[in-house]
């Protein structure tokens, strides 16, 4: 019996679940992270340009190239490890190096990315981060280092994955242009667990930054939405009484509706992506299984206070736009209903007027028919008298007698014929 045939995508889809493994990060170590995104139309960007940019970096270190069409890569470049990933709107580079610098968050690790290579990037920097991984047998010194390295007002620090690690960060951009995160790992924690936590921190920062693009879009729509609201309110006010020119009001409503729908179409992708990124941020924080450290706020609490209000603003803007669209649609339906009612009334008046005209025409027709009967009878009687002229001399009967006898007969015959013709026409 021949083996069963596999679906053409079976192996491709199964391998996709294992395509992006977490890096193994030993403590102590350091990492530099970079996310690049085109300023516009990021989802439709040329992904071959992203891969060409990656290959340019690999060639500088003589490293092996990724497979054609690859969306991820992990390999050694010089003394460091490089992890590259291509996403829907952006690409990310993560450099891992052994040991930590004497100077905390020294940008030397980031210098692995050459300046001319950074300048030639097919996009702009969404975010970048420096991550310092240390070994901490206990809690001693962690709070002091966190206060020294980060802004106390924004500092978020927590125990994660069952107190195996402590993570800290303030989500502020340092003078070098990078975010900073610190990871303190217990001596017994494995390299892959440390790598997973480092990866989660990079993802939280990236998706947070991408989500905030939705807030920028929402804020930019504020003046435009205020103008839409003013126009809609004015048009609805005009509809409260009798509408002198409904066609003009309807044209105004259609114009506003088109502007609103165009704005929704231009914002749908960004707002939809913002919602997806927000979900990822919250999910990544959840899997860290945070516990409070030294009474300080956790990453989840930081997001609740600083990030969630921004996301609510985006959702509010999206809902307000949709409400305006529905409002304009209802106003258009109401105006069209009013116009239809007015047209129905006009049509009814027209039909009534046509009925009156038809009645008058019928009366006129009957009058004309009566006159026609008289006229035809008159000529018919004269014709009969002319035909019976010889009888007058033969029998001595005068024309008056003939006229008296012929007139009723002729009138009856003519009236009968006219009525029969009218009934046949009906």
What single-letter DSSP state applies at residue 102?
S
Alpha-carbon distance of 89 to 282, in angstroms, equals 19
- Start-to-end CA distance of the chain, whole Å, equals 85
Cβ burial, residue 165 (10 Å; 0-12/13-18/19+)? buried
- Could you please report the per-residue DSSP string of 148-216? HHS-TTT-EEEEETTTTEEEEE-----TTS-EEEEEEE-TT--HHHHHHHHHHHHHHHHHHHHHHHHHH
Cis preceding-peptide flag for 387 (omega within 30 of 0) = no
Sign of the four-CA dihedral 125, 146, 186, 163? negative
| The pair of three-digit structure tokens given for residue 241, joined into one six-digit string | 């009484």
- Positions in the chain whose pLDDT score sits under 50: 1
Q: What residue segments make up the domains of the chain, in order of their start?
A: 18-191, 215-349, 350-425
Q: What's the pLDDT score for residue 177?
A: 92
Q: Tokens 């009878």 — which residue? A: 377
Please name which of 18, 39, 22 lies closest in space to residue 31, comparing C-alpha atoms: 22
Alpha-carbon distance of 421 to 402, in angstroms, equals 28
- CB neighbour list of residue 117: distance below 8 Å, 6 or more residues apart: 53, 56, 57, 60
Are the C-beta atoms of residues 123 and 87 closer than 8 Å to each other? Answer: no
H or E element in which residue 75 lies: strand 72-77
* 273-299 CB burial, b ≥16 within 10 A, e <16: bbeebbebbbebbeebebeebeebbbb
- Count of positions (residues) in the chain: 426
Beta strands 291-292 and 179-185: pairing type? Answer: unpaired
**SS3 state at 142:** helix
Chain centroid to Cα 227, Å, comes to 20
> Cα dist. 140→137, 145, 186, 392 in Å?
8, 10, 12, 154
- Could you please report the per-residue DSSP string of 350-391? HHHHHHHHHHHHHHHHHHHHHHHHHHHHHHHHHHHHHHTHHH
Q: What's the pLDDT score for residue 359?
A: 77
Alpha-carbon distance of 95 to 178, in angstroms, equals 14
**SS3 state at 76:** strand
Alpha-carbon distance of 292 to 219, in angstroms, equals 34
């Amino acid at each position: 019996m021949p083996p069963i045939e596999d679906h053409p995508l079976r192996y491709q889809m199964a391998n996709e679940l294992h395509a992006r493994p977490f890096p193994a990060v030993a403590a102590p170590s350091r990492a530099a992270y970079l996310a690049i995104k085109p300023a516009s139309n990021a989802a439709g960007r040329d992904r071959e340009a992203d891969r060409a940019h990656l290959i340019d970096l690999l060639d500088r270190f003589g490293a092996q190239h990724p497979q054609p069409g690859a969306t991820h890569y992990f390999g050694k470049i010089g003394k460091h490890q490089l992890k590259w990933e291509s996403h829907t709107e952006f690409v990310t580079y993560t450099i891992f190096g052994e040991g930590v610098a004497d100077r905390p968050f020294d940008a030397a690790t980031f210098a692995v990315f050459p300046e001319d290579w950074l300048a030639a990037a097919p996009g702009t920097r969404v975010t970048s981060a420096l991550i310092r991984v240390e070994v901490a047998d206990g809690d001693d010194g962690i709070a002091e280092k966190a206060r020294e390295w980060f802004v106390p007002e924004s500092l978020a620090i927590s125990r994660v994955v069952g107190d195996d690690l402590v993570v800290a960060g303030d989500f502020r951009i340092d003078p070098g242009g990078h975010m900073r995160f610190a990871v303190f790992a217990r001596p017994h924690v494995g390299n892959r667990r440390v790598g997973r936590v480092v990866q989660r921190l990079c993802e939280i920062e990236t998706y947070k930054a991408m989500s905030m693009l939705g807030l920028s879009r929402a804020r930019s729509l504020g003046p435009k939405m205020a103008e839409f609201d003013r126009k809609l309110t004015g048009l609805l006010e005009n509809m409260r009484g009798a509408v002198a020119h409904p066609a003009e009001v309807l044209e105004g409503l259609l114009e506003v509706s088109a502007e609103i729908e165009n704005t929704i179409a231009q914002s749908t992708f960004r707002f939809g992506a913002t919602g997806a990124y927000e979900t990822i941020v919250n999910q990544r924080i959840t899997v860290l299984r945070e516990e409070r450290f030294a009474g300080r706020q956790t990453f989840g609490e930081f997001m609740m206070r600083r990030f969630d209000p921004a996301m609510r603003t985006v959702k509010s803007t999206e809902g307000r736009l949709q409400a305006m669209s529905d409002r304009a649609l209802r106003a258009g339906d109401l105006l069209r209903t009013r116009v239809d009612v007015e047209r129905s009334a006009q049509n009814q008046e027209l039909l009534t007027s046509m009925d009156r005209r038809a009645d008058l025409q019928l009366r006129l027709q009957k009058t004309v028919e009566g006159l026609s009967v008289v006229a035809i009878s008159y000529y018919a009687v004269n014709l009969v008298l002319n035909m019976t002229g010889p009888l007058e001399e033969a029998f001595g009967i005068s024309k008056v007698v003939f006229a008296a006898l012929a007139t009723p007969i002729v009138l009856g015959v003519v009236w009968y014929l006219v009525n029969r013709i009218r009934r046949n026409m009906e």
